[in-house]
Chain A
């Protein structure tokens, strides 16, 4: 089976990419400028890292990859 940690690592890039795209789209089409919304990227990266750690600490998992 594929460990959850690998999955999180694989989707991290695409998800950050989508976030950045969405923020720029918001900048162009709504009143929320990129200079206001950029911290969302940090939050997303933080969340992904947390989720990655949580899945690694699973009971069936032992050593490092």
Chain B
């Protein structure tokens, strides 16, 4: 009896086919990130499959494959591990692959350009909705009482006749529906949506509220007194001088940048960089960002929640900069709360209480002139350094389970070595309790 050939090979082929098919059909699906994250489960599934095969053969008393795995399979597994690890590292460092399907299609044919203009006078408060699948939208608030749109449409086609037809099928419309004004480019009316892209240059009455929907294309909004709500598959969003609340929900983004916002800001989804400056309302960031996050001058609480980090600050007169490996803060008003997985934390000039926890990473704390609240900092593996102002009153207890306890503050603090670790302990006047703890690493208290 010849042993049956393994079914793993064909199954892998099917899996790859399904992956590319989903990618072509749902282009906004972050396939690269999904594979980078979940590829180890392919190994597990593969192993389970082979195990089941062996058990199946045993049950039927058939001869078994001698080595379990063939040489070709081992090579393939090693290749998968190398590629998977590479993709994971690349994903963590913010590398994004362009969707294969779209770039492939865009290489064929010739590009034809069309320009259209449309305008509609409006009265009272207005809510303007943009429905533009592909293309950049730039919106400016003006004193004119109308919504005016200049459209630059790019169509890829094999000949001008096809392009003209596609242009006719996708008219630029400004429609009033209830209290909303909808600007529509109708790109979805043609079969090859990927071949049409519309850039819009828009002016709206300054008091308008903006709502943007799209698959791919940047949004620039300037000088608008209403709220801004943008949801897109892939967009860079830049907002300046916004009077109302801002909500941005993106599946991919190079950057979300907002300056001078009077209302609340909510940012959700995935992306690279986030930059917020001069925000009057609450700021909530919830999602996964691989680049640098920068916050500057926030008048109300900031709450940031990502896969590895939870950060809460009551008010931010200064700055917070955060990337994958580091969190730097300067001039913050607490209570400050940070829980993170692997980051070095450096916080300077803060008031009120502070509560920090990191799995892997060093912590450096430099409070402002007056200590007003308690400090609680914990690292599982990393050095912690606490630099206290000259005149401060406090009670400190710095402990390490494995590492050196250094007292550079001098008396009246005392250092004690316990087993592999040590403690710096003491009291200066009547002040808040400062507790710093590390499982592995040094603790240092200094002036």
Contact = CB atoms under 8 A, between A and B. Distances in A.
Contacts of B84: 24
Nearest to B57: A10
B40 interface: yes
Given A21-B41, A22-B40, A13 B68 contact: yes
Given A2-B64, A24-B39, A14 B48 contact: yes
B314 interface: no
Given A2-B58, A7-B58, A10-B54, A21 B68 contact: no
B47 interface: yes
B68 A10 contact: yes
Interface in A1-57: 1-2, 6-7, 9-25, 27-28, 31
Contacts of A19: 47
A21 B42 contact: yes
Contacts of B85: 24
Contact of B43 (A6, A7, A24): A24
Contacts of A12: 68
A9 B66 contact: yes
Interface string B41-58: 111111111110010011
Contacts of B359: 31
Contact of A17 (B37, B38, B64, B77): B77
B411 interface: no
Nearest to A8: B68
B61 interface: yes
B48 A13 contact: no
> Secondary structure of the B side of the interface?
helix
A21 B46 contact: yes
A12 B66 CA distance: 10
B81 A17 contact: no
A10 B57 CA distance: 10
A14 B45 CA distance: 10
A10 B47 CA distance: 12
A14 B68 contact: yes
Nearest to B39: A24
B40 A14 contact: no
Interface in B354-395: 359-360
Contacts of A18: 43-44, 47-48, 51
Contacts of B37: 28
Contacts of A22: 40, 44
B341 interface: yes
A24 B48 contact: no
Given A24-B81, A24-B84, A13 B46 contact: no
Contacts of B21: none
Nearest to A12: B68
Given A2-B61, A7-B58, A24-B84, A13 B40 contact: no
Interface in B65-90: 65-69, 73-74, 77, 81, 84-85, 88
A7 B51 CA distance: 10
13 contacts: A9-B68, A10-B65, A10-B66, A14-B68, A18-B43, A18-B48, A20-B81, A21-B41, A21-B47, A25-B44, A28-B37, A28-B38, A31-B360
Given A14-B54, A21-B43, 17 more contacts: A2-B64, A6-B64, A6-B66, A11-B51, A13-B50, A13-B73, A14-B46, A14-B69, A15-B51, A20-B40, A21-B41, A21-B44, A22-B44, A24-B81, A24-B85, A25-B40, A25-B44
